[in-house]
Amino acid sequence: MKAWIWIGGVVVGAVLIGSAWADMGKAAPALKAAAGSQADSHLTEGIKHYEQGHWDVAKKHFLEAVKADPQSAEAHYDLALALDKVGDHAGATENFKRAYDLGKQNPEIQNSGILKAHLKMK
């Protein structure tokens, strides 16, 4: 009986580890520009590259989006995502903070798990 319980525990553990491993490669989705934003074309192009895993190229487009519309919460959020992917966690945190401050009306930003992790929020 103890052997069956031990085997069951091993199987459950393997399933949990396997599902966590599968989620590791997933990226938080980038956000489209708010209606009327000057950042729209840059974000659209950046999102295409972000979804393909071209983090450096996406980052360049998201930087252009922030320059085009510095008040775009989505531009700062997307730039933060790309910065996180290329390992610039300080830059990501700075842009997540800006996105959070600018995007009070955007629940995707306010409820973002990666944003909350960078800003050490619960």
- Condensed to tens digits (0 to 9), the pLDDT of residues 7-46 reads 444 333 433 333 333 333 467 999 999 999 999 999 999 9
pLDDT tens per residue, range 69-111: 999 999 999 999 999 999 999 999 999 999 999 999 999 999 9
Mean pLDDT of 55-65: 98
Mean pLDDT computed over 44-70: 98
Indicate the pLDDT class of residue 1, thresholds 50, 70 and 90: low
pTM recorded for the entire structure: 0.79
Distance CA(31)–CA(77), nearest Å, equals: 8
At 94, which amino acid appears? E
What CATH number belongs to 2-118?
A: 1.25.40.10
DSSP secondary structure string, 32-87? Answer: PPPTT-TTHHHHHHHHHHHHTT-HHHHHHHHHHHHHH-TT-HHHHHHHHHHHHHTT
Distance CA 14, CA 32 (A): 37
CA–CA separation, 77 and 112 (whole Å)? 10
Q: Are 73 and 109 in contact (CB under 8 A)?
A: yes
